Amino acid sequence: MRLLVTGGAGFIGSALIRQLLAEDSDTVVTNADKLTYAGNLESLESVSSSPKYYFEHVDICDAGAVQQLFDRYEPNAVVHLASETHVDRSIDGPSAFLQTNILGTYILLEAAREYIGSARTLEKERFRFLHVSTDEVFGSLGPAGYFSESSRYAPNSPYAASKASADHLVRAWHSTYGLPVLITNCSNNFGPFQFPEKLIPLIILSALEEKPLPVYGDGQNVRDWLYVEDHCRALRRILAAGTVAESYNIGAHNERTNLEVVRELCLILDELQPRQNRKSYQDLIHFVQDRPGHDRRYAIDPTRVTQELGWVPVESFSSALKKTVQWYLANLPWCERVREGKYQGERLGSAR
């Protein structure tokens, strides 16, 4: 398979590329990435010399450059991961989210449509456009129930609205033009190489620096957590066997309040990297003003991908969380390099 991955230098994209090149000898991967603040080629050093890996420094909003990708590499499939992803940043500056997540998706869809329009019949039949989205497009759940593939869209942040818009574009390009698409909506990812603005790496690094550990509001907002390696295995399974025009929700039934996640991280750090004063890192927990429009609860029902495609997560939340903490402890120089001049743990998303 010749695979084009957009956003392949990002957190999920780099994990997918590393996994593919380690486990799938028949796949050649082209990584197209703009290299924004969250894109980091260091995450791909282990595969950078592979003869099956190519990198192109491309902004998906550049239609000419995107078309050249299709012409040069002739992919059998696209995994579209390039996007602006951080809710807090979308509150402070929504424009980049609208540009990349909506306009960029449109440009990719048009390039893919033109490409398969001129492709051989067999290539048309094999081609897939996998659009990776988020559970945040569905808005906020009450205390019970789960998001399913038929849940109504009700995005509450600029980020979620931009991803919802992209989902609708992808469906429209199938309905109108017959583009063979797949859509996934996943829960919160975590794992190695995640940029430190996200909750889990932010808490780990702030704790090690003896900084306050910020928890929004009362800390009772619930998220459904998914280890990035399990997510990548699901994406590969959907790409290989998913039904065209269907969407698949990917979650691991790992519901935790934000406060529970922070406390569990503190307990792991207490074990692996005790503080000099021998106190628990939980003493550093600090409640801050809540995020504007903060969704109360997300939870994914992954029945379709489990029953129809046989995917199940390999890691439990606790085992994956401990692996993640161990990775950050072992890779603190990486963290310093990716943060340098870009993000130092400051509060984002206050809407001021």
Check if the beta carbon of residue 115 is closer than 8 Å to that of residue 72: no
Structure tokens at 94: 């929504």
Check if the beta carbon of residue 16 is closer than 8 Å to that of residue 42: no
User: Of 199, 224, 201, 192, nearest to 214 (Cα)?
Assistant: 199
Selected catalytic residue, list 33, 59, 88, 135: 135
136 given a catalytic annotation: yes
Kindly report the CA angle at 130 between 185 and 8, in degrees rounded to 5? 90
Selected catalytic residue, list 33, 136, 197, 295: 136
Selected catalytic residue, list 53, 106, 159, 298: 159
User: Distance (Å, rounded) from C-alpha 327 to C-alpha 319?
Assistant: 12
Kindly report the CA angle at 165 between 164 and 171, in degrees rounded to 5? 90
Check if the beta carbon of residue 5 is closer than 8 Å to that of residue 13: yes
Provide the strand spans (E) within the chain. 2-6, 28-33, 53-57, 77-80, 128-134, 181-186, 188-190, 213-216, 222-227, 247-250, 255-257, 285-288
DSSP 300: B
User: Distance (Å, rounded) from C-alpha 273 to C-alpha 255?
Assistant: 26
Question: What is the full DSSP assignment across 193-230?
Answer: T--TTSHHHHHHHHHHTT--EEEETTS--EEEEEEHHH
Q: Which residues are catalytic?
A: 135-136, 159
